[in-house]
Structure 1
């Protein structure tokens, strides 16, 4: 089972426990959910999230010194392509423009607007 646990959240009434995780592909966690439900004596929901969603959930400071754009105002993630990086003249130093999620920084798309 290849998964990275990101966060755990109990519903206010404690009737459901959410496990947020990232994983390369889809994995069947039904057996794990059953074991967790027996252990915690509540309903379990396992929710897979993408790496950008993980960065949004964890939060942090970007290299510009501000909070991550995804934690403050981005609700829907746009696909940031290498074409966008080339239009911003950053194609030669892609690693410098990679965010905490490992993908190109979302702010590169703002330069084009």
Structure 2
């Protein structure tokens, strides 16, 4: 037995599945997961199973009949998605139907939806009963899950991270934007989902390392060559420089090594500590 990483169509997350035999990367297989039999794609090399872990299972390589059936269920799900959206509008329900997904044996249909408040979905279940005998499961999803399922373009022009490669949604805070010296403009810092950009977390650790070699913002410093002293007004972590406002004017792009920290009245030296970097 081997373990294969597989990926489902609507998510980039890899799921470990137990298989009796290895399958080549890119092979579409039928797997038995939590919801039932589904079609997935092998996305990595086979590995050894962990005796302590629990796995789903790879049932077989998908046959042409499996794939044809899977495509038909996908089309049926798309049609029913639009039907439910229309029925929700007719009933005045404040809900967004994001996706409908069948299992390969059509025993279960999962309806992913988004709503601000708790709503009664019994009427929509009744609407589905007239089109499928599958058991209906409604699953509430958040903004990031919506972007993952639907897929969209990010500010970089590429597919959004949540639908292309993210394996989990790590916490993202406005503090990360401050550490990266980004303007705190909600429109610039928000992704298509309306939440803070997931990519803010990717380089955050690097920025914290760079900031430790820079003086704090508003710290009092003196330029070793000119002797001019002033207050740090802006940090440039990637360049390793800062801007200093002196009585004579602005010194822009001064290397941190060319500055001397001035002891402040409270006893500090204007040097940036790890705690300071986390509070910029």
Q: Normalising to structure 1: TM-score of the pair?
A: 0.85
Residue 93 of structure 1 corresponds to which residue in structure 2?
A: 185
Contact 1:80 1:106 in 2 (8 A): yes
Would you tell me which structure has more helix in proportion to its own residues? Answer: 1
Residue 39 of structure 1 corresponds to which residue in structure 2?
A: 130
Q: CA deviation at 1:18?
A: 1.5
Equivalent positions of 1:1-113 (< 5 A) are 1-33=93-125, 35-40=126-131, 41-113=133-205
Moved more, 50-59 or 64-73: 64-73
Q: Which runs of 4+ in 1 moved over 6 A?
A: none
Would you tell me which structure has more strand in proportion to its own residues? Answer: 2
Moved more, 60-69 or 44-53: 60-69
Please give the per-residue CA displacement for 1:34-92, whole angstroms capped at 9, x wherever unaligned: x1353123211111111100001111221212211111221211221111221122243
State the alpha-carbon separation in 2 of the partners of residues 61 and 38 from structure 1. 35
Q: CA deviation at 1:10?
A: 1.7
Q: SS of the residue aligned with 2:98?
A: strand
Distance change in 2, residues 1:26/1:90 (3 Å): farther
Number of aligned residues: 112
Contact 1:36 1:44 in 2 (8 A): no
Q: Normalising to structure 2: TM-score of the pair?
A: 0.37
Q: Which runs of 5+ in 2 are unaligned?
A: 1-92, 206-280
Query: Which gives a bigger RCO, structure 1 or 2 (Cα 8 Å, sep 6+)?
Result: 1
